Amino acid sequence: YSTMIFWGIGLAFHAFSVFGMDFILGKKWEERKIEEIINRGKNDTWE
């Protein structure tokens, strides 16, 4: 059974590399996170 498990893990990693994280999380999640990171940077002040 271990061979099938490792093949499944390898297949899952290959699917992530081909389809990317948009396949699971979606474009809206990515845009929301980008806005969150940008806004977090705006609140920081450099002295």
1-45 pLDDT tens trace: 889 999 999 998 888 887 776 666 677 878 888 898 888 877 666
CA separation, residue 12 to residues 4, 16, 18, 25, 44 (Å)? 12, 6, 10, 15, 38
Number of other residues whose CB lies within 10 A of the CB of residue 30: 13
Judge whether residue 46 has pLDDT over 90: no
Kindly report the pTM of this predicted structure.
0.43
Judge whether residue 47 has pLDDT over 60: no
| Predicted pLDDT of residue 8 | 94
In this structure, the chain runs to a length of 47
| Predicted pLDDT of residue 41 | 72
| Predicted pLDDT of residue 6 | 94
